Amino acid sequence: MFNYQHGGNLKKAIEKYGIPSEKIIDFSANINPLGFSSKIKETVTKNLNQLSHYPDPECREAREEISGYFKIDYSNIILGNGSTELIYLIVQTLKPKKALIPVPTFSEYERALSNNNVPIEFCKSEEELEFSLSINKIISQLKGIDLVFLCNPNNPTGTFLPRQELLILVKEIQRRKIFLVIDEAFIDLQEEESLIKEVKNYDYLIILRSLTKFYSLPGLRLGFTVADSKFIKKLEKQKIPWSVNCLAQLVIKDLFQDEAFIYKSKQLILQEKQFLYNELSKIQGLKVYKPSANFIFLKLLGNIFSQGLIDHLAKKGILIRDCSNFRGLEKGKFIRIAVRKHKENIKLLKELKMILTKK
Amino acid sequence: MFNYQHGGNLKKAIEKYGIPSEKIIDFSANINPLGFSSKIKETVTKNLNQLSHYPDPECREAREEISGYFKIDYSNIILGNGSTELIYLIVQTLKPKKALIPVPTFSEYERALSNNNVPIEFCKSEEELEFSLSINKIISQLKGIDLVFLCNPNNPTGTFLPRQELLILVKEIQRRKIFLVIDEAFIDLQEEESLIKEVKNYDYLIILRSLTKFYSLPGLRLGFTVADSKFIKKLEKQKIPWSVNCLAQLVIKDLFQDEAFIYKSKQLILQEKQFLYNELSKIQGLKVYKPSANFIFLKLLGNIFSQGLIDHLAKKGILIRDCSNFRGLEKGKFIRIAVRKHKENIKLLKELKMILTKK
Residue A336's Cβ-side half-sphere holds a number of Cα atoms within 13 Å equal to 29
A270 in B contact zone (CB under 8 Å): no
Which residue on chain B is closest to A47 by alpha carbon? B41
Q: Helix A342-358 crosses helix A306-315 at what angle (to 10 degrees)? A: 130
- Greatest Cα pair distance in chain A: 59
Q: Does residue B5 sit within a domain? A: no
Q: Are residues A266 and A249 in the same domain?
A: no
Query: Could you check whether the bond before residue B119 is cis, i.e. omega within 30 degrees of 0?
Result: no
Q: Are residues B102 and B178 in the same domain?
A: yes
Q: Does residue A43 sit within a domain? A: no
B336, β-bridge pairs: B297, B321
B23 in A contact zone (CB under 8 Å): no
Q: Does residue A127 sit within a domain? A: yes
Q: What gap in Å lies between CA B310 and CA B319, rounded to an integer?
A: 7
Q: Are residues A148 and A208 in the same domain?
A: yes
Instruction: Provide mean pLDDT across the span B220-236.
Output: 97
Residue whose C-alpha is closest to residue B100's, from B30, B172, B156, B159: B172
Q: Are residues B179 and B93 in the same domain?
A: yes
Q: What gap in Å lies between CA A224 and CA A289, rounded to an integer?
A: 29
Q: What gap in Å lies between CA B142 and CA B100, rounded to an integer?
A: 8
Residue A158 structural domain: 54-255
A52 interaction partners in chain B (CB closer than 8 Å):
31, 35-36, 216-219
Last residue of a domain, one of B256, B290, B305: B256
B161 neighbors B148 (Cβ within 8 angstroms): no
Backbone angles phi, psi at B308, to 5 degrees: -60, -45
Instruction: Provide mean pLDDT across the span B275-298.
Output: 97
Instruction: Provide mean pLDDT across the span B251-274.
Output: 96
Q: Does residue B111 sit within a domain? A: yes
Which residue on chain B is closest to A231 by alpha carbon? B1
Q: Are residues A145 and A223 in the same domain?
A: yes
Residue A211: DSSP 8-state: S
Q: How buried is residue A97: exposed, middle or buried, by Cβ count under 10 Å (0-12/13-18/19+)?
A: exposed
Count other C-beta atoms under 10 Å from residue B164's C-beta. Answer: 8
Q: Are residues B302 and B251 in the same domain?
A: no
Last residue of a domain, one of A255, A282, A305: A255
Residue whose C-alpha is closest to residue A221's, from A30, A79, A89, A39: A79
What pLDDT was estimated at residue B3? 44
Q: Are residues A222 and A142 in the same domain?
A: yes
Q: Does residue A138 sit within a domain? A: yes
Q: Are residues A189 and A285 in the same domain?
A: no
Q: What gap in Å lies between CA A195 and CA A182, rounded to an integer?
A: 8
Alpha helix positions (H), chain B = 10-17, 38-46, 60-70, 82-94, 108-115, 135-140, 163-176, 229-238, 246-257, 259-282, 306-315, 342-358
Q: Is the pLDDT of residue B352 over 70?
A: yes
Q: Are residues A209 and A331 in the same domain?
A: no
**Pick from B92, B236, B245: which is nearest to A220 by CB?**
B245
CA Rg, chain B, in Å?
20
What pLDDT was estimated at residue A22? 83
pLDDT level of residue B11 (50, 70, 90 thresholds): confident
Q: Are residues B100 and B16 in the same domain?
A: no
Task: Using DSSP bridges, classify how beta strands A99-103 and A25-26 pair: parallel, antiparallel or unpaired.
Answer: unpaired
pLDDT level of residue B236 (50, 70, 90 thresholds): very high
Q: What gap in Å lies between CA A183 and CA A166, rounded to an integer?
A: 12
A242 in B contact zone (CB under 8 Å): yes
B81 interaction partners in chain A (CB closer than 8 Å):
81, 240, 242-243, 245
Q: Does residue B2 sit within a domain? A: no
Q: Does residue A117 sit within a domain? A: yes
Q: Are residues B212 and B77 in the same domain?
A: yes
Q: Are residues A137 and A83 in the same domain?
A: yes
Q: Which of residues 159-178 of A touch B (CB under 8 A)?
A: none
**Pick from B35, B221, B241: which is nearest to A4 by CB?**
B241
B35 interaction partners in chain A (CB closer than 8 Å):
49, 52
ipTM of the complex as predicted: 0.94
Number of domains chain B is built from: 2
Is A242 in Cβ contact with B82 (below 8 Å)? yes
Q: What gap in Å lies between CA A183 and CA A177, rounded to an integer?
A: 19
A218 neighbors A35 (Cβ within 8 angstroms): no
Which residue on chain B is closest to A40 by alpha carbon? B48
Last residue of a domain, one of A205, A232, A255: A255
Instruction: Provide mean pLDDT across the span B102-107.
Output: 98
CATH number at residue B220: 3.40.640.10
Q: What gap in Å lies between CA B318 and CA A6, rounded to an integer?
A: 47
Q: What gap in Å lies between CA A25 and CA A7, rounded to an integer?
A: 12
pLDDT mean by block of 10 residues, chain A; 359 residues: 66 84 91 94 94 95 97 98 97 97 98 97 96 96 98 98 97 98 97 96 98 95 98 97 96 94 96 98 96 97 94 94 96 97 98 85
Helix (H) or strand (E) holding A281: helix A259-282
pLDDT tens-place string over residues B152-187: 999 999 999 999 999 999 999 999 999 999 999 999
Q: Is the pLDDT of residue B5 over 80?
A: no
CATH number at residue A18: 3.90.1150.10
Is A10 in Cβ contact with B218 (below 8 Å)? no
A84 neighbors A61 (Cβ within 8 angstroms): no
What pLDDT was estimated at residue A113? 98
Q: Does residue A214 sit within a domain? A: yes
Nearest-neighbour CA in chain B from A158: distance (Å): 21
Least trusted range by pLDDT, from A88-92, B9-13, B42-46: B9-13
Chain Cα centroid distance, residue B235: 21
